A = this chain, B = another copy of it.
Amino acid sequence: MGKYKVTFLPEQKEVEVEDGVTLLEAAEEAGVYINSLCGGQGLCGECRLQVSSGNAKADKHAIGFFSGEEIRSGYVLACQTKVADNLEVLIPAKSRLEMEKIVTEGTSVTYSEPGKISLRKIPRDPASLFRPLVSKIYLQLPEPTLGDNISDIDRVTRELRKRLTYPSFEISLACLQNLADKLRQCEWKVTATVARHNDRGRVLQLEEGDTTDQNYGLAVDVGTTTVVVQLVHLKTGKVIGVEANHNLQARYGEDVISRMVFACGRGSLAPLHEAVVTNINTLTQALAKEKSVDTKDITCIVAAGNTTMSHFLLGLMPCSIRLEPYVPTATVYPQILAKEIGININPHGIMEVMPSVASYVGGDIVAGVLACGLADKREISCLIDVGTNGEIAIGNDEWIVCCSASAGPAFEGGGTKWGMRATKGAIEKVLIKDGCVTYETVGKAKPRGICGSGLIDSIYELARNKIIGRNGKFNLSANDKRTVMEDDGPQYILAFPEETETGQALTITETDIGNLIKSKGAVFAAIKSLIDYVGLNFAQLDTVYLAGGFGSSLNVSKAIAIGLLPDMDTDRIQLTGNSSVMGARMALLSVSAFEAAVNISKKMTNIELSNYLPFMNEFIAALFLPHTDSKLFPSVHY
């Protein structure tokens, strides 16, 4: 078995690998991320590479993905090509995953952070609201005497009772075992680390002297695509750092369904579990180094993710989530020691996972509801999280209903010819006027694809300029110079070859438009079904919170105009950014907020849309720009 050197261009990253390793694996090892929607099964054709030096044959199976010209130019599928020579490989722009604008929180958006004071309608004690799930309390205990010779642990909890409001306290055996020595070595001056455990206070560790400053927590958003970690100082509540990376599970499939298929079929749960643990450990390590924080001073993690991600994180089998009747193992998760699943923080440090509602309404949505304060207000609001699934929650401080609809990957750059995520070079804003196209790209780079907000803009602009009809079909009689007919049907040229990084024209096809209309139709139909279900109308919605990856680049008016969002005053639509990590952080910093989240998850009634006839009808009605029922969009005029 030989070893070969593989060099990835344009980044010049080198790696030495064993004979027989695939190029996809080599890329991972080199730290070069490559799109792989199907998780290395050779099905999606996304992991295209161009071999510029050395001998690598495109295997038979993969040939279908390439033109003869491409095969001659050395194009291969990374997942289907084994290394058997020293290679130089060029990663085409489209296959690279780089500089993605991961929404680490709603920093650049209009979202105003919900008042933390409003977590309870009548705050019992304002000071009690800031009470981290794990707190460090410095104790100066009186030495025992014959008149006061209660046990050591009772001496500790007697003092803790004055400082924390837990009705009772418990202690781990490990901590109890060295309690006596520790107290006496420290001359009765110790810092107790106390976690909320169920409804009790649990003493996790004792440290010598006053270490209350050294107490950190992590708020984690485990997204299907990206993982975001915030490092939070638990004494002050301040976020002192944030880092994000791509969910390493991507190698096993791009979306939750393909990852479940992997875990429950030819693969197993372990690699998916380990991947996300590695994500968190890597980010934690980086943050700790960057901020000079000792990882042993990180005592608590709160993670939020969709139900499948939460299952993978905790090592729970997700197989029945995928199949009707869509049953998760759990929706409220037990508190665990972070080390139980291999997360490297303080060995006594705990992890809470935000509770889910159902298989397709997860802890990220519960965190979002918590973060936007939907459950604290008399007024009725709506939270919409648009991704591959669209999740919707509508309600107020008394009730919340929610649902989930499969929107397809269009908003995240999948399922369209030139779709890509909102990373460098993605067209994110589009304006068409008098036959001229102006656009903006992420990072002001040469365009190499079109992200979700760019697609929404494009479709709106195409319809407004009558280039396409309200049914999404090209109006070929308009004779627009950018409308061309290719083998795969009519399409509109957004950027000509000379403008783009790839040297190929970036177009929007009629199929793309059809897919996007299906996506927006599914989301809108879900909102409409829920509104109808509770017997309300859109005018009764006080605020719509829009969460997810669109970020500040989404043009809300255009999203309304294509019928993705209900037709309402744009002032009442707030982009929340990453409300998942924000909710996780609120829970991390406030026992009441965490308890509120558990209550929210129990209070939310999930409406299963998959076999729900009104939803089917709404969906069909929504396959039009903006909608077949124009009375629903009175302000929209093309």
Contact = CB atoms under 8 A, between A and B. Distances in A.
A314 B176 CA distance: 9
B146 A611 contact: yes
Given A173-B314, A173-B336, A334-B173, A328 B181 contact: no
Ordered nearest first, which 9 A-B pairs have the shortest CB separation? A149-B325, A180-B317, A146-B325, A153-B330, A180-B329, A144-B327, A151-B331, A151-B328, A152-B329
A179 interface: yes
A203 B390 CA distance: 35
27 contacts: A144-B325, A144-B327, A146-B326, A146-B608, A146-B611, A149-B608, A152-B327, A152-B328, A153-B330, A154-B330, A154-B331, A170-B198, A171-B334, A173-B315, A173-B336, A173-B340, A173-B341, A176-B316, A176-B329, A176-B333, A179-B316, A179-B317, A180-B317, A180-B319, A180-B329, A184-B320, A198-B200
A67 interface: no
Nearest to A184: B320
A358 B151 CA distance: 8
Identify the interface centre among A151, A340, A359: most chain B CB within 10 Å of its CB.
A151
Given A144-B325, A200-B198, A327-B149, A177 B315 contact: yes
Contact of A181 (B145, B317, B327, B608): B317
A341 to B, nearest CB: 8
A172 interface: yes
Contacts of A171: 330, 334
Contact of A358 (B149, B198, B611): B149
A147 to B, nearest CB: 8
Interface in A331-351: 331, 333-334, 336, 340-341
A486 interface: no
A11 interface: no
A69 interface: no
Nearest to A356: B151
Contacts of A170: 198, 334
Contact of A314 (B177, B316, B320, B333): B177
Interface in A591-611: 608, 610-611
A324 interface: yes
A178 B316 CA distance: 7
Given A176-B314, A314-B177, A317-B177, A326 B149 contact: yes
Given A145-B325, A176-B316, A177-B314, 5 more contacts: A150-B327, A151-B328, A153-B329, A154-B331, A180-B329
Interface string A387-427: 00000000000000000000000000000000000000000
Interface in A492-542: none
A314 B327 CA distance: 41
Identify the interface centre among A155, A177, A610: most chain B CB within 10 Å of its CB.
A177
Interface string A127-162: 000000000000000001110111111110000000
